[in-house]
Structure 1
Amino acid sequence: MERGAYEEAGPDSVLVRLRGRLPEFTGALRRVAEQVLTDPAGASRATIVELAERSGTSPATITRFCRALGFEGYADLRLAIAGETGRAARSAGWAVDIGREIEPTDSLERVLGQIMAADTQAMRDTAAMTDLTEVERAADAIAAANRVDIYGASGSALVGAEMQFSLHRIGVAAWSWPDVHNGLASAALLRERDVALGISHSGQTRETIEMIAEAGSRGAVTVALTSFPRSPLADVADIVLLTATQATTFRPDALSARHPQLVLLDLLYIAVAQRTHDRSHAAFQRTAQAVAGHRLREVAA
């Protein structure tokens, strides 16, 4: 993965890695994972016994948890978490509020600060973990595609519709299919040099998986946009684009994923526009002229 301005978060971020692997953990290991994600600063200061008590597990479970994440022991895990929470606190004072529950008595100023903190951190984490080689592969495929199908349900459908609109404005034949029946019918007609993009935060939405699998069986290049690299959707896709999330009160992961998804899709869209510059520029000019008459003209004073 290429790294740039977001190098401080790092693709090896233990918290980003833990969020991505959360579905793999069950039982006691899941409780430890959720405790660490809920209060990473507290976990960085806790002893192994204290973390076991907070998560309702045992020190032996904490040790197994550490090894599952690739650490020799609890001291290494704690050091890694402390390093991340320390960087966040130094880089922006508001970052220490991430993970705090939004209370009914909180002022809108404080709520706004938490939303901004969570969304900004999620987008920074997404940038840090983005594999630009995968983005380039997806952009190459879309730029050369005869048509592009975009699949997603519920909130993911809204994100997909935004991508469809962006691609359409630069002359890419793209369709967004929020309905599984229509989506499957369209996927069945795809062929080589077509592209299918499936969007699902969890990567477990059955309808999206079915549509991507159908498109892939017809020879289309399949792209998954998800927060979980080992999800069923990622498993059936040729190219996987990953996002990170930071949940807040009233905004669970699925809702919190929307802005990072839009950022990554915007990057993909611009990469496609770069590869089709002349066509995209001409399409932009024509579409701008077409709607120009519907803009209010400034009235002279």
Structure 2
Amino acid sequence: MGTEEFLFEIRKNYRNLRPSEQKVADVILEGTEEIAEYTIEQFAHKAKVSQPTVLRFANAMGMKGYKELKTRMIQIYAGTQKSGSEKMVLDFPIQETDKLVELPAKVIMTNIRHMEECLKSISTYEYIQAVHALHEAQRISVFAVENSACTAEDFATKMTYIGKQVSFQKDGYLQHVTAGSLTSQDVAMGISHTGKSRQTVDALAIAKEAGARTIAITNSETAVINRFADIVLCTENRQYMYGDAIFSRCAQVSIVDMLYLGVFLTDYEQNAKRLNQNWEGIQKLIY
């Protein structure tokens, strides 16, 4: 397993680790090159855990002990020293001294990091619950404003192609009206990076009060919108710029793609048939 693959495995399995083992993972993912020289005692002190916890983490990652874990960390930070310019590329935001030619790499590398953080943050259990809820729903209403509206519209379009009854109203008043008409047979989904957009939060609250199953896609498990969500899917993005439009949308779209494909897989044969029929039906609209 290479260095990048090892870091990817840590992020992928992060949610399945015990809280104490997550502290060990955090030290590796967020630490500096000095940790590669730590003894197990020093590493445990840095992570504020016991030495057996460090060993359990190593075992959970498929390693025999701390010696193998330390070798991995040496490889990680040796690579960091060799590619100082790449590390700098990850340290967004844009600065006045940046050159235009550097921006494509900065944007791509930052998005890659956010995608890895999304993978680390999302709960497999919550994801499966969301897929089942969407599959069983009679109607699905999506609530979002501003930057998140792009994600909402994309999700509604995808789900419509496989025959699901999905609505997304761009008008905030209509979102609230729609939310109030939902029943226990329906699902409401609110998308808000900050989790504080009043229009989206209030719409999801109205839907929950009406009896609908509610899903929130947001940045943090402590976001306000989660108070009204039965299921929470977190992107765990850092906010770099106003509205975080550039980076939050990348993670949000990935999550709705996961949901769409999950619903598709739940009834693969029937959904594939509907998708093909709808695709054939729009061919006359394509040159």
TM range (shorter): 0.7 to 0.9
Q: Following the alignment from structure 1 to structure 2, what is the Cα–Cα distance between the partners of residues 210 and 277?
A: 35
Indicate the SS of the match to 1:257. helix
Q: Following the alignment from structure 1 to structure 2, what is the Cα–Cα distance between the partners of residues 41 and 233?
A: 31
Amino acid at match of 1:138: A
* Number of the residue aligned with 2:149: 157
* Number of the residue aligned with 2:67: none
* Number of the residue aligned with 1:260: 251
Q: Per-residue deviation at 1:278?
A: 2.9
Q: Which runs of 5+ in 1 are unaligned?
A: 18-39, 46-71, 78-82, 297-301
Q: Following the alignment from structure 2 to structure 1, what is the Cα–Cα distance between the partners of residues 201 and 134?
A: 20
Q: Is the 8 Å Cα contact of residues 150 and 196 (structure 1) preserved in structure 2?
A: yes
Identity over aligned pairs, percent: 21
- Decide which moves more: 157-166 or 94-103: 94-103
* Number of the residue aligned with 1:138: 130
TM value normalised by structure 2:
0.73
* Number of the residue aligned with 1:114: 106
Q: Following the alignment from structure 1 to structure 2, what is the Cα–Cα distance between the partners of residues 167 and 89?
A: 46
CA offset digits 1:7-29 (Å, max 9, x no partner)? 22334767x98xxxxxxxxxxxx
Pair 1:281 & 2:272 matched: yes
Q: Per-residue deviation at 1:230?
A: 1.0
Indicate the SS of the match to 2:285. coil
CA offset digits 1:121-156 (Å, max 9, x no partner)? 100111122111111111111111110000001111
**Matched residue pairs, number?**
243
Q: Following the alignment from structure 1 to structure 2, what is the Cα–Cα distance between the partners of residues 88 and 128?
A: 21
* Number of the residue aligned with 2:51: none
Return structure 1 stretches of 4+ with deviation > 6 angstroms: none
Q: Following the alignment from structure 1 to structure 2, what is the Cα–Cα distance between the partners of residues 110 and 251?
A: 21
CA offset digits 1:214-252 (Å, max 9, x no partner)? 11111111000001101111121000000022455x566
Indicate the SS of the match to 2:216. strand
Q: Following the alignment from structure 1 to structure 2, what is the Cα–Cα distance between the partners of residues 88 and 165?
A: 44
* Number of the residue aligned with 2:9: 7
Q: Following the alignment from structure 1 to structure 2, what is the Cα–Cα distance between the partners of residues 88 and 240?
A: 34
Larger RCO (alpha carbons 8 Å, 6+ apart): 1
Q: Per-residue deviation at 1:76?
A: 3.3
Amino acid at match of 1:209: V
* Number of the residue aligned with 1:210: 202
Cα pair distance change 1:156/1:293, threshold 3 Å: same
* Number of the residue aligned with 1:76: 47
Q: Is the 8 Å Cα contact of residues 156 and 201 (structure 1) preserved in structure 2?
A: yes
Q: Is the 8 Å Cα contact of residues 130 and 243 (structure 1) preserved in structure 2?
A: yes
Cα pair distance change 1:159/1:210, threshold 3 Å: same
Q: Following the alignment from structure 1 to structure 2, what is the Cα–Cα distance between the partners of residues 101 and 137?
A: 35
Cα pair distance change 1:187/1:88, threshold 3 Å: farther
Pair 1:243 & 2:235 matched: yes
Q: Is the 8 Å Cα contact of residues 88 and 95 (structure 1) preserved in structure 2?
A: no
Q: Is the 8 Å Cα contact of residues 118 and 236 (structure 2) preserved in structure 1?
A: yes
* Number of the residue aligned with 1:185: 177
* Number of the residue aligned with 1:170: 162
Q: Which has the higher helix share?
A: 2
RMSD of equivalent CA atoms: 3.6
Q: Per-residue deviation at 1:283?
A: 1.6
Q: Is the 8 Å Cα contact of residues 119 and 246 (structure 1) preserved in structure 2?
A: no
Cα pair distance change 1:130/1:95, threshold 3 Å: farther
Amino acid at match of 1:76: A
TM value normalised by structure 1:
0.70
